[in-house]
Amino acid sequence: MTSPIYVALDTPDLETVRSLAARVKTHVGGLKLGLEFFAANGPGGVHAMAELGLPIFLDLKLHDIPNTVAKAVQALRPLAPAILTVHAAGGRSMMEDAKAAAPAGTRVVAVTVLTSLDDQDLAATGVGGSAHDQALRLAALARESGLDGIVCSGAEVKAARALWPQGFFVVPGVRPAGDAAGDQKRVVTPRQALDHGASILVVGRPITRAEDPDAAARAIAATL
């Protein structure tokens, strides 16, 4: 069975990322490459990481007018990522166009509410209600837009799964019991996230900053 753990490799240095990925690849199910990595290494860096043979989650959180996002997704087609992110806040037309432009084998998932935000942060941007309610509103919009799933915190995934039983749910901000939350405000353990309906778990610093990343990945996998 393929591991649901995708390791977040959020650093600009290609050799550091490649070395880390090579160390943990037998205990993770995929590699998450974010904006920092892509800004530094571009498509060539993604191709280099794909050579390791693991699925690539390209986490660029695209958010712009529908035509611009569709053209960006078309430009990314040669990379054939397993998963690609857009922002649900970009609206229905943007999400529809992003999905239409993506390769057939790419899951397009919408970011609902970043795990670094809480209710007060949302209120400061003019969004009323709780982060939980906003995530569910955006989950419904993503489903209606024809996307494959969403990115949400472990605090919302159970309700989102009930709302969208066939959805694909990416849960970041996952921390093993006792680990520091860092800049994440809505965190759960890997076991809790899976039990609540997560499809894949995104784990970064608990693996990448561990003294022995492979042992850390193996220990997290053992809790599942």
Positions annotated as catalytic residues are: 61
Q: How far is the C-alpha of 102 from the C-alpha of 118, rounded, in Å?
A: 31
Q: Counting beta carbons within 10 angstroms of the beta carbon of residue 11, is it exposed (0 to 12), middle (13 to 18) or buried (19 or more)?
A: middle
The alpha carbon of 177 is separated from its chain's Cα centroid by a whole number of angstroms, namely 20
DSSP class of residue 106 equals P
DSSP class of residue 53 equals -
Q: How long, in residues, is the chain?
A: 224
The answer for residues whose C-beta is within 8 angstroms of residue 28's C-beta and 6 or more apart is 3, 5, 6, 7, 54, 207, 217, 221
* Cβ-contact 131, 139 below 8 angstroms: no
* Cβ-contact 192, 154 below 8 angstroms: yes
DSSP class of residue 85 equals E
